Amino acid sequence: MGTLHAQRSGSLLTLTLNNPGKANALDFDILHELERQIEAVELDAGVRVLLLRGTPGGTFSSGADVGQWAPLNPHQFARDWIDYGNRIFDRFERLRCPTVAAVEGVCFGGGLELALCADLRVAASGAVFRFPEVGIGAIPGWQGGPRLARLAGRGRALEAVLTMCALDAQRASDWGLVNAVWTPDVFEQELAGLLQRLACVSPHAAALAKEAVLWGAEPGEFHAAAGAEIKGSADAAIGLHAFLNKSKPVF
């Protein structure tokens, strides 16, 4: 049985995957707790940044727990595993606050699909990414293929899914799968700096900017409405006052 440890430090919420007997495989318990944490973040404006990680210095996730989904019949599998997981992953992707997935080791299958839902992914130099599903008669059912295609392009996404190739951290960076690669000796320091930068921006502006990048169906119309919304906000007043006075804004 896996768990998801939650730790709050100021405006930062860290969620740590923990299923050590199965290399942090995602099971129903982890999915349920992830859903619960997402619901809490949706109601708590005090959370400005969410960090998702696996074992510090080790495995992120070996993927979905085959032992839990294998016994399900096709209807149960579609409803209770695929549809349920996608609802949770979609909500994670749509959180208003910036989200970061920190990957230091193995990040396979469903674990990679979860990491792809984060806004940013950072990797230690020893990280490895892979979709192994077609090799056991399955597919990346939590929309990992389409999400990877949006980052790396259709051809590379198909290569990753169909050939089950392993991507080291540098190749993942070259593909646009990760935003930064750091050596283990500086990983925690660099990660802390990134999280601090994200926590200092206007939370209202960050939510709207994120929405504009990810889901703005009518860009012109959305940006006009979002621009009007943020211009009339307290965050805009704080930011403009600080800019004009050459000081640092505190949102």
Of the listed 33, 93, 104, 133, which one is catalytic? 133
Single-letter residue type at 63: G
Distances, alpha carbon 157 to alpha carbons 26, 106, 150, 166, 175, in Å? 22, 18, 9, 12, 10
**Which residues lie below 8 Å from residue 228, measured CB to CB, with a gap of 6+?**
none
- Asked about 113 being catalytic, the answer comes back as yes
CA 78 from chain center: how many Å?
A: 23
Classify burial at 163, counting beta carbons within 10 Å of its beta carbon; exposed 0-12, middle 13-18, buried 19 or more. Answer: exposed
Beta sheet of 49-53, edge-to-edge order: 3-9, 12-18, 49-53, 99-103, 120-124, 180-182
Which residues share a beta bridge with 4? 17
- Asked about 221 being catalytic, the answer comes back as no
Of the listed 113, 188, 211, 218, which one is catalytic? 113
Q: Among 206, 207, 180, 201, which residue's Cα sits nearest to residue 191? A: 180
Cα 221 from Cα 237, distance rounded (Å)? 23
What positions carry a catalytic annotation? 113, 133
